[in-house]
Structure 1
Amino acid sequence: MSASVVPAEVSANATVVELRPRYEGANVGTWIGFKHLNYLVEEAVLEHLRRVGHSPTALYHEHGLCVDIAHIDTRIVRALRVDDLAVAEVRPTGGMTYAVTIRRDAHDPRAVSSKVRVSLRLDTRGEAAEPVPADLLPYTVDRLGEGGEPIRIGDAEPAEALRAGRNAFVWRHRIPYFYCHFAERLQMSGYLRIMEEVVDLFLADRGVSIKTLLDRQRLIPAVPHSRITLLDEAYMEEDLYTVFAVEQVFKRLTFTSRMDSYVLRDGVLVQTATGRITHGYAELAGRREWGLVDFDDVLLGALAGIGGH
């Protein structure tokens, strides 16, 4: 994903930049999925930082500061397609928090809106660095997050401890280096990938996999809202335990689920992130169009934990 070479409008208050979504995000037809729309938001914020003189490269090389997206909360009002030249506006809202609006062109209604918080994580490894600029000190941290709720399990099996008494799916997976940055930590885009994958695994576990519903009913999940907050750091090649649980079904139209991620350290499950995602289901009406539909009894039962595998 690269920013347009067309000069963007930059002021003390906002940055406007043109972006194109990646072809990778067009998994069904030409519509772009929620993960890649969040990637557009992230890229717009990074471009804003470059335009105001705080490029991620310079901050890291000169001051040992790692730019981390620590919170992202994104609402999707209209779908973007792979050939849309999106217009993103980044407006600072105080400190290093930003409101991001994305339109399909400068004159279209809003397609995506997001709230983003950036942290500057100090990297003390390696060579010495120049002092952190005074204006960035309030946003500089030694460690990401303020800590989630630890779960002491001793010798118990972590997945069973996390699943106990809940209508939840638990996925244990090793954190790969390509989900990390700064040679160390799982980054926000990695958590977005994990959120997408755990939904896929959950639906398959319940007997309503994405391919199953596509083949049977031409249905595909659609995401109007997603949110992820980093609570602590998770490191490359640690095992991450991701818990996915349906919280609410609204009028057979949408369901909201919670995602929580943990790493096991010395008999304690340390929570590293939490998030929520809302899904509806769209029925494909050909190559160009789709429309939201009500959940049938089979899907409702799967979400409630009735049936499945």
Structure 2
Amino acid sequence: MTVTAEAVKALVETGSTVRLRPRYEGSNINTWIGFKHVNYLVEEAVLEHFRNAGLGSRDLYEQHGLGLDVAGLDTRILHAFHQDDEARAVVAPATKDGDGHLGFAVTLYVERGGKELKAVTSKVRVALRIDGYLAPAEVPEALARFAVARIGGFAEPGAHHGTEVTEAAAAALSAGRGTTGDDPVLAQLLAGDNAFGWKWRIPYPYCHFNERIAMSGYLRQVEEVVDLFLADRGISIKTLLDDRKWIPVVPRSSVQMLGEALMEEDLYTVFTVEEVFKDLTYTARTDFYVVRDGRLVQTATGRITHGYAVFSDRSDWSLVPFDDRVLEAFAGRPAA
């Protein structure tokens, strides 16, 4: 593949459209598709945009040593996706001169009752990461302004970044989902905050390009930490499903990479409740850290907005306000 100025011009100046369907795996409650797989649709639309420009991710890596990383996502869900829905995905370039990365605005449309509705909007940032795992390749001149030696700089790190810490002894692999209990690094990260922390070893399936966690891995991590947080506060997802037929809904999610987290590193995920809005939604910040040379390194940050919906049949649901039990749990005072 020869990377031409015309191909790059098409990538950064010309929009594209593709039709996509959500994966069956993303349907966990009735036929609704969760936020993670909605973001997967956004990611796939961007990958198809690169293919349409003649700059597919496989060729960029194999021939030019450039790993295509979705390094920033900020996604709003306006209408829910279901199994068998077909999305019309529109990708509009939104790259700004001098940013050092590629930007895109992605909109997903879905048909309801014979009308096409705007279902999802997302701002996406892409880094072309120069491969350092294998022998270096020559970066094409037309893409040089977007090629980076390391991913980072997509948001400002928090106050814990760079703090000295003392790690516990390595956890046994039999620990399964990791630890949320007694750990000196977690204790330091959580001190004084209405937060929940989870230490977990990054596995191979969450990574790509041989070494680093991918955006899809972070999205899975967000989904996991929400599940563990709710269980820790006494309102696990299954508990509210069984008691009330309440399901979590996510109108907005974002993840921005600040650095790179590597395969088999311990990832410290901190979930901090920030705001409850009109007893209908709550927003939480999710921060990700690894420890290197005795110091915390923040590798990503993001936010997720959650509410609850109640379903009366297999296809329809309505948003419900939080009750005292749920509000107490969010405030860090789980009911007895």
**TM-score range, shorter-chain basis?**
over 0.9
- 1:65-104 pair list within 5 angstroms: 65-95=66-96, 96-104=102-110
Q: Shift of the alpha carbon at 1:113?
A: 0.6
Instruction: Tell me by how many angstroms 1:124 deviates.
Output: 2.8
Distance 1:226 1:154, change over 3 A: closer
Do the aligned residues in 1 keep the contact of 2:105 with 2:122 (CA within 8 Å)?
A: yes
Q: 1:6 — aligned with what?
A: none
**In the alignment, is the contact (CA less than 8 A) between 2:69 and 2:127 conserved in 1?**
yes
Residues 1:123 and 2:124 aligned together: no
Mapped to 1, the partners of 2:332 and 2:93 lie a distance apart of 42
Q: CA deviation at 1:288?
A: 0.9
Contact map agreement 1:246 1:257 (CA 8 A) in 2: yes
**For the residues of structure 2 that align with 1:154 and 1:114, how far apart are their CA atoms?**
36
In the TM superposition, structure 1's runs of 4+ consecutive aligned residues that sit over 4 Å from their partners are: none
Matches for 1:95-114 after TM superposition, within 5 Å = 95=96, 96-105=102-111, 108-114=116-122
* Amino acid corresponding to residue 28 of structure 1 in structure 2: I
**Tell me, which stretches of 5 or more residues in structure 2 are unaligned?**
1-9, 97-101, 168-183
Equivalent-residue separation in structure 2 for 1:174 and 1:125 (angstroms): 21
| Inter-partner Cα distance in structure 1 for 2:115 and 2:132 | 46
Q: Note the aligned Cα RMSD (angstroms).
A: 1.6
TM-score computed with the length of structure 1 as normaliser: 0.93
Of the candidates 163, 168, 173, which is equivalent to residue 152 of structure 1?
163
Partner of 2:58 in structure 1?
A: 57
Secondary structure at 1:212's aligned position in 2? helix
Is the Cα–Cα contact under 8 Å of residues 256 and 278 in structure 1 kept in the other structure?
yes
Counterpart Cα distance in 2 of 1:244 and 1:74: 19
Identity %: 56
Alpha-carbon offset, residue 88 of structure 1? 0.4
Partner of 2:142: 135
Deviation readout 1:82-137 (Å, 9 max, x if unpaired): 101111000101251000000114951100110000000001332352x2222211
Aligned equivalents of 1:155, 1:84: Cα separation in 2: 49
TM-score norm. by structure 2 comes to 0.86
Equivalent residue number for residue 38 of structure 1: 39
Aligned length: 299
Instruction: Please give the alpha-carbon distance, in whole angstroms, between the structure 1 residues aligned to 2:136 and 2:225.
Output: 40
Shift of residue 65 of structure 1? 0.2
Range 215-224 or range 90-99, more displaced: 90-99
Alignment map for 1:1-309 (pairs within 5 Å): 13-95=14-96, 96-105=102-111, 108-129=116-137, 131-146=138-153, 148-149=157-158, 150-155=161-166, 157-307=184-334
